Structure 1
Amino acid sequence: MNEPYHQSPPRPANTLSPATMKTFMCFFTLFILAQIIGATLFGLYLFMKIDKVEEEMSLHDDYLFLRRIQKCTNGEDVDKTLLNCKEVVTKFHKLINEATKEVTVSANYEKLTANKEHPIAAHLVGQNSSQSTAVLQWMEKGYSAMRKMLGYKDGKLIVETPGFYYVYSQVSFCKNVTRGARAPFFHNLYLRKPHGNDRLLLKGVNTESSQNSSDCSLHSIHQGGVFDLQKGDMLFVNVTDSSRVNYSTGSTYFGMVRL
């Protein structure tokens, strides 16, 4: 008895599994990203390289220009197609002079601005000293004001920066003729050079009256002037009798300011 013939179905073709397909797509995506990043970095490198080459070319042009100027100055043979050497050198010198003037004006402006922002000045008020001395002493604190560009020592203001200064001083004193000494009261402002003698700059005087009084008659002498001072110059105030000086607030002071 014949058995029936059963035909087996055809075998399916080889297909990729989902895991393999996913892996392939990941590698493909990474490859594309690497290409994009590589192209971007290459473009950036190329841009920087071109910029550097342009800068070097510019410097090369400047060098050639200066070289031609040097040849014109030295009288060497230059390309006949160039402008006249005398005209080139003249214009070059004119350009240098204009640039130098601009730099000088800028520097002077900055210096003037700095002086306005940081003025050199001092204002000292009188300080009653226990010792009787002709040179008056001053307080550096309290109502006094002094910048670091001026020095102070033993009643003397010391100039650190040369220039024109307005120097002023006022001394208030007790005018009492019953003390027996009827000589005039002198208020002097002196300049002492680092290597020289004292020089009188300003002088004020108040003469005694013939009227006797047991009370203190208060008087003041004020004076000021402009002087050209150098570094190391010292200024101080001298009076005939410091025991008669009145040191109440605002009565006796000494100062200077750079113009």
Structure 2
Amino acid sequence: MINTFSQSPTMYPTQQGSPLSIMKITLWMFTICVLGQIIGTCIFGVYFHKKLDKIEDEMALNEDYLFLRRIQKCLKRGTVDPTLLNCKEVIAKFRSLISEVTQSDQPDESHEKPTDERTNSVPAPRIGEEPNTSKKVVAIHLVGDKDNSNKEALQWQQKSYLTLQNEITYTNGKLRIETPGVYYIYSQVSFCANSTQFQKAPFVQYIYRKQSDGPVKLLIKGASTIISSTANCALQSTQLGAMFTFGKNDLVFVNVTDPARVNYSPEFTYFGMFKLGDTS
């Protein structure tokens, strides 16, 4: 017999969609959507944060502008309602703020105050320059004098040298301190050093101090033992210099072992002192 029933064609697996592949595609699409949403959220967050910063800056500028507008209104008296704006309080706060800013900009004088005593010293004027007496320069420079009537001290004279003895006076070979302080004293004595005039003892120079209520005290001294074999005068020099603290009416003077051998030329023999600062 002939079978007349119609039969549907056989469906092969390749002709139908696999459920597993459909699930994979769905998962991929879902993952891509989630990642896109996350990236979009991050970008929007960054943009929103920058926008907030910009708005805050604008608000700060707006507050400054409003504050300046308030001050401007306060300066225009009679145009502001006192119930809305207290001009006295606004101006007082503004003035206090300005004073704080100016005080913070000024240097602290306590840190700039010199502590070294040498900063009180006054520099010597240059050659040919008039000294500035407003700085209270205290100095004296003397040159040798052949008058040796006073055997206790060498005699000196002034010859067109820088001499500002406002606080130092000279009398009979001695310098008198009128104002206490720290002083630098110096002296140079030139003398003949040949064998015919040389004594057994070396040529010695002394600088003494005599206080008003005390004995004479030796401060410093210098000696020269060089002897020339010639009969002519061979000049030698002894130089002294040191810093000391002197009181009022203290006397300072110079003496040597043999004044007859001294060369009294102004360039060779001189004596002086200058003030470095006050005693604390």
Tell me the TM-score normalized by structure 2: 0.49
Structure 1 pair 245/185, CA: closer, same or farther in 2 (3 Å)? same
> Separation in 2 of the partners of 1:245 and 1:235?
19
Match in the other structure for 1:151: 169
Deviations 1:111-151 (A, max 9, x none): x6998712111111111115373511110343362422111
Aligned residue pairs total 150
Structure 1 pair 116/205, CA: closer, same or farther in 2 (3 Å)? farther
Is 1:240 the counterpart of 2:257? The answer is yes
**Percentage identity across paired residues of the two chains:** 42
Letter in 2 for 1:150: I
Deviations 1:56-93 (A, max 9, x none): xxxxxxxxxxxxxxxxxxxxxxxxxxxxxxxxxxxxxx
Letter in 2 for 1:164: V
Q: Quick check: 2:220–2:240 contact (8 Å CA) kept in 1?
A: yes
Letter in 2 for 1:228: T
Is there any run of 5+ residues in structure 1 with no aligned partner, and where?
A: 1-100, 106-111
Name the SS of the counterpart of 1:243 in structure 2.
helix
Aligned-residue offset at 1:232: 0.5
Structure 1 pair 200/130, CA: closer, same or farther in 2 (3 Å)? closer
Match in the other structure for 2:208: 190
Name the SS of the counterpart of 1:178 in structure 2.
coil
List, as ranges, runs of 4+ consecutive aligned residues in structure 1 with deviation greater than 4 Å. Answer: 112-116
Tell me the TM-score normalized by structure 1: 0.53
Give the structure with higher Rg (CA): 2
> Separation in 2 of the partners of 1:187 and 1:115?
33
Aligned-residue offset at 1:179: 2.6
Match in the other structure for 1:125: 143
Structure 1 pair 199/258, CA: closer, same or farther in 2 (3 Å)? same
Q: Quick check: 1:171–1:251 contact (8 Å CA) kept in 2?
A: yes
Q: 1:214 aligns with which of 231, 238, 245?
A: 231
**How do 1:26-105 residues align onto structure 2 when only pairs under 5 Å count?**
none
Q: 2:246 aligns with which of 223, 229, 252?
A: 229
Aligned-residue offset at 1:213: 2.2
Name the SS of the counterpart of 2:196 in structure 1.
helix
Structure 1 pair 130/151, CA: closer, same or farther in 2 (3 Å)? closer
Aligned-residue offset at 1:212: 3.3
Is 1:201 the counterpart of 2:219? The answer is yes
Q: 1:162 aligns with which of 167, 180, 183?
A: 180
> Separation in 1 of the partners of 2:190 and 2:151?
16
> Separation in 1 of the partners of 2:133 and 2:246?
17
Is there any run of 5+ residues in structure 2 with no aligned partner, and where?
A: 1-108, 114-119, 123-131
> Separation in 2 of the partners of 1:135 and 1:126?
12
Match in the other structure for 2:193: 175
Structure 1 pair 178/190, CA: closer, same or farther in 2 (3 Å)? same
Letter in 2 for 1:216: C
